[in-house]
A = this chain, B = another copy of it.
Amino acid sequence: MVRRTKEEAEKTREALLDAAEFVFLEKGVANASLEDIARSAGVTRGAVYWHFENKLALFDAMHERVKLPMDELFERAMHDGDSFTALKEVCITVMRHLAEDARAKRVFTILLLKCEETCPAQSNVERQQQKRDKVIQRFEKIFTAAHQDGKLGPDTSPQTAAIALHATICGVLNDYVRNPEVLDIATLGPQLIEIFFRGISA
Contacts and interface: CB of A to CB of B under 8 A. Distances in A.
Nearest to A129: B179
A62 to B, nearest CB: 16
Interface in A158-189: 160-161, 163-164, 166-172, 174-175, 178-179, 183, 188
B175 A167 contact: yes
A160 B191 contact: yes
Main secondary structure of the interface of A (DSSP, over half): helix
A179 B163 CA distance: 12
A161 B196 CA distance: 11
A7 to B, nearest CB: 35
Interface of A: 26-31, 113-119, 129, 132, 153, 156, 160-161, 163-164, 166-172, 174-175, 178-179, 183, 188, 191-192, 194-200
A26 to B, nearest CB: 8
Nearest to A28: B116
12 contacts: A30-B116, A31-B118, A114-B116, A163-B175, A163-B188, A164-B192, A167-B168, A167-B175, A167-B192, A194-B199, A195-B199, A198-B198
A87 to B, nearest CB: 15
Given A156-B195, A168-B192, A170-B175, 20 more contacts: A26-B119, A27-B118, A28-B116, A30-B30, A30-B31, A132-B178, A132-B179, A153-B198, A160-B191, A161-B195, A163-B188, A164-B188, A167-B172, A167-B174, A168-B168, A171-B171, A194-B199, A195-B196, A195-B199, A195-B200
Contact of A171 (B115, B168, B178, B199): B168
